[in-house]
């Protein structure tokens, strides 16, 4: 596998790094503290073309590949993982899904503004009783002439408080199990669509996470994605790509933990020398760097497979499983290297730990990634 980057991919990475360093990092700690949505930063991400990176140019997107997306996601998340997840949901879950499965009319009406950053999207699959067990949908959509009537509640919806549209997964025929699940584009202004209170979270605190309730929401039948019964596969395929994005987000957090550790260990003295001269610290730095590189290669491998039209569900699950694990470990080691200073907010590493944990949970927990990997191993 060729891991070298094209000129365009390098340019995207450099552009993302510059923007992240100059504009995203600046107020990241403050936004985290205040739980403040990064409105200006998301607007600028859209100007750079980063909110619809893989959307074809004819729908107003940047027309880039998954490798470019991964490179940009790592850089943005290295500065602020909250900004990373907002970007990731709009790119890999919302715009990718509409571009891949939506009708021409849906692409004109929703994909174009979503790719341009004029709209923000969220992905509403999880429910109070359907997290890992995604087939267990209690949200129901009933056909009524040229509409569907939607009822139910979705939980833990990233971007949910800000999003103009939601991709909603709902049962259209509960007797058919996963084959009776469908996907819809639902506008936030639809009567009966109500947004719950913002969740108080451990990490990624400047991204918003809410529940969304639907009470007799009347949705045009034209907003059904594909056909009835496609919803579960739509969600699974979309999440396969989403997991590559979250792997890249985790990588960004891990890299930020290493960056901070390298800097601090060459500034802080103990026993008369910089702590970087102690082998105890050197071993930690070496392990962090090795794990990060392994995670990066797994993530790129999944992205390359997706770009080449090869199967990538297993590769994406491996990338997310490993990257999220080493992100938590790297953040913990960064705190250990910083000692007491790591436990307070000044050096940001405690934020990296708080932000890293969610990467082992959303878009499929680590346990779910293992199920996906094992099932793929056993069927070959
Ligand atoms: N691609 C295409 N089809 C797939 C698929 C995939 N990746 N995975 C499963 N399917 C198909 C299967 O082939 C099967 O179809 P057939 O019956 O036609 O053969 C059907 O879907 C059902 O599959 P399973 O029997 O494997 O279904 P399951 O009930 O055992 O569930 C699971 C499988 C992997 C556990 C799945 O439920 C899952 O991934 N759960 C986790 C859900 C998740 O990731 N949630 C994240 C929420 S979104 C989020 O976090 C976003 C955010 O805000 C950041």
Domain boundary among 229, 260, 282: 229
* pLDDT band of 2, cuts 50, 70, 90: confident
Examine residue 357 and state whether it is found in any structural domain, yes or no: yes
Our CA dihedral for 337, 340, 341, 343, rounded to 10 degrees, sits at 90
Whether residues 269 and 300 fall in one domain = yes
Ligand 1 nearest-atom number relative to CA 364: 44
Q: What is the DSSP string of 158-202?
A: ETTTT-SEEEEEEES-GGGGGGGEEEEEEETTSTTEEE-PPPP-S
DSSP tag of 60 = T
Of 92, 152, 148, the closest CA to residue 123 belongs to 92
Which residue bears the tokens 């990092």? Answer: 25
CA of 140 to the centre of ligand 1 (A): 18
Check whether residue 299 and residue 213 sit in a common domain: no
CA 255 to mean position of chain CA atoms: 17
225 shares a domain with 195: yes
Output phi, psi for 59, to 5 deg: -105, 20
pLDDT above 90 for 79:
yes
pLDDT in tens, 330-378: 999 999 999 999 999 999 999 999 999 999 999 999 999 999 999 999 9
DSSP H or E run through 292: helix 279-307
Say yes or no: 101 and 148 in one domain. no
Q: Is 127 helix (H, G, I), strand (E, B) or coil?
A: strand
Residue 134 alpha carbon, nearest atom of ligand 1 = 37
pLDDT average, residue stretch 190-218: 98
Residue 2 lies in a domain: no
Which residue's structure tokens are 């346990």?
A: 367
With contact defined as beta carbons under 8 Å apart, do 170 and 139 qualify? yes
* 1, part of any domain: no
d(CA 379, CA 28): 44
Could you tell me if residue 364 is inside a domain? Answer: yes
Q: Is 149 within the bounds of a domain?
A: yes
State the total domains in the chain. 3
Q: Are residues 130 and 81 in the same domain?
A: no
Distance 236 CA to ligand 1 centre (A): 4
Testing ligand 1's pocket by substitution, the residue of 92, 236, 245, 318 carrying the most ligand atoms inside 8 A of its CB is 236
Among 120, 141, 160, identify where a domain stops.
120
DSSP 208: -
With a cut of 70, say whether residue 178 has pLDDT above it. yes
Q: State the pLDDT confidence band at 380, using cuts at 50, 70 and 90.
A: low
User: Domain ends where: 190, 209, 229?
Assistant: 229
Q: Under 8 Å CB-to-CB from 28, ≥6 apart: which residues?
A: 79, 80, 82, 83, 206, 348, 351
C-alpha to C-alpha distance for 361 and 103, rounded to whole angstroms:
32
In a domain, 345, yes or no: yes
The Å distance, Cα 118 to ligand 1 centre, comes to 30
Q: Report the C-alpha gap between 332 and 372 in whole angstroms.
A: 27
In a shared domain, residues 164 and 96: no
Summarised one tens digit per residue, pLDDT across range 291-325 is 999 999 999 999 999 999 999 999 999 999 999 99
Which residue's alpha carbon is nearest to atom 13 within ligand 1? Answer: 233
Same domain, 251 and 293: yes
Radius of gyration of the chain (CA): 21
- Please tell me whether residues 178 and 315 are part of one structural domain: no
> Is the CB of residue 90 less than 8 Å from the CB of residue 51?
yes
- Residue 255 lies inside a defined structural domain of this protein: yes
CATH, residue 309: 1.20.140.10
φ, ψ dihedrals at 165, nearest 5°:
-135, 150
**Residue showing tokens 């070496």:** 286
- Model confidence band, residue 56 (pLDDT cutoffs 50, 70, 90): very high
The residue-averaged pLDDT of 204-211 equals 98
Looking at the fold, whether 190 and 321 belong to one and the same domain comes out as no
Ligand 1: list residues with CB < 6 Å. Answer: 89, 123, 125-126, 132, 134-135, 157-158, 178, 232-233, 236-237, 239-240, 313, 362-364, 368, 371-372
Ligand 1 centroid from CA 134, angstroms: 7
CATH of the domain at 85: 1.10.540.10
- The CA 363 to ligand 1 mean position distance, Å, reads 11
Could you report the per-residue pLDDT of 63-73, keeping only the tens digit for each? 999 999 999 99
Domain range holding 129? 122-229
Q: Give the residue numbers marked as catalytic.
A: 363
User: How far does the centroid of ligand 1 lie from the alpha carbon of residue 13, in Å?
Assistant: 31
Supply the residue whose CA is at minimum distance from atom 25 of ligand 1.
Answer: 178
- Report which secondary-structure segment, H or E, holds 367: helix 366-379
For residue 135, give the ligand 1 atom closest to its CA: 29
pLDDT over threshold 90, residue 1:
no
Contact 225, 98 (CB under 8 A): yes
**Going by CA atoms, what residue is nearest to atom 40 of ligand 1?**
132
Least confident stretch, 97-106, 125-134, 295-304, 369-378: 125-134
With respect to residue 189, please indicate whether it lies within any of the assigned structural domains. Answer: yes
Q: Are residues 115 and 136 in the same domain?
A: no
Contacts of 16 (CB under 8 A, 6+ apart): 48, 50, 71, 72, 74, 75, 76
Residues 359 and 341 both lie in one domain: yes
> Do both 241 and 375 map to the same domain?
yes
Task: Please give the model's pTM, rounded to 2 decimal places.
Answer: 0.97
**What pLDDT score does 379 carry?**
86
CA nearest ligand 1 atom 36, residue: 134
Q: What counts of helices (H) and strands (E) characterise the chain?
A: 14, 10
Beta strands in the chain, from DSSP E residues, in sequence order: 121-124, 140-144, 147-158, 165-171, 181-187, 193-195, 209-220, 224-225, 269-270, 273-274
Indicate whether 162 pLDDT > 70. Answer: yes
Structure tokens at 108: 């004109």
Q: With bands split at pLDDT 50, 70 and 90, how would you rate the model's confidence at 211?
A: very high
- Residue 375 CA: nearest ligand 1 atom is 26
How high does pLDDT run on average in the chain? 97
The domain that contains 177 carries what CATH number? 2.40.110.10
**Protein residue with its CA nearest to atom 6 in ligand 1:** 236
């Amino acid at each position: 596998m060729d891991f070298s980057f094209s000129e365009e991919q390098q340019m995207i990475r450099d552009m993302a790094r510059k923007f992240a360093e100059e504009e995203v990092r600046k107020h990241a700690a403050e936004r985290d503290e205040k739980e403040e949505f990064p409105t200006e930063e998301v607007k600028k991400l859209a100007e750079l073309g980063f909110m619809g990176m893989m959307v074809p140019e004819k729908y107003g997107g940047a027309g880039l590949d998954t490798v470019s997306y991964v490179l940009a996601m790592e850089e943005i998340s290295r500065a602020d993982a909250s900004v990373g997840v907002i970007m990731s949901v709009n790119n890999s879950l919302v715009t990718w899904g509409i571009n891949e499965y939506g009708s021409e009319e849906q692409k004109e009406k929703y994909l174009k503004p979503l790719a341009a950053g004029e709209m923000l999207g969220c992905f509403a699959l999880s429910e109070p009783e359907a997290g890992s067990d995604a087939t267990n949908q209690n949200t129901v959509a009933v056909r009524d002439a040229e509409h569907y009537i939607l009822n139910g509640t979705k939980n833990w919806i990233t971007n949910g408080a800000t999003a103009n549209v939601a991709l909603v997964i709902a049962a259209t025929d509960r007797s058919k199990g996963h084959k009776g699940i469908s996907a819809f584009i639902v506008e936030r202004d639809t009567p009966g669509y109500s947004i719950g209170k913002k969740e108080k979270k451990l990490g990624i605190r400047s991204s918003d996470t809410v529940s969304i309730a639907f009470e007799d929401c009347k949705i045009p039948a034209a907003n059904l994605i594909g056909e009835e019964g496609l919803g579960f596969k739509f969600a699974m395929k979309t999440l396969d790509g989403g997991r590559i994005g979250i792997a890249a987000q985790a990588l960004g957090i891990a890299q930020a933990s290493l960056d901070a550790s390298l800097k601090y260990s060459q500034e802080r003295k103990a026993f008369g020398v910089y702590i970087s001269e102690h082998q105890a610290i050197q071993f930690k730095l070496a392990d962090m760097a090795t794990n990060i590189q392994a995670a990066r290669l797994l993530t790129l491998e999944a992205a390359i497979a997706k770009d080449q039209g090869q199967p990538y569900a297993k590769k994406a699950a491996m990338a997310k499983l490993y990257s999220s694990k080493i992100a938590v470990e790297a953040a913990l080691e960064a705190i250990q290297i910083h000692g007491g200073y790591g436990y307070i907010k000044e050096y940001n590493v405690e934020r990296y730990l708080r932000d890293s944990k969610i990467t082992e949970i959303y878009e499929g927990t680590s346990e779910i990634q293992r199920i996906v990997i094992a099932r793929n191993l056993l069927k070959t």
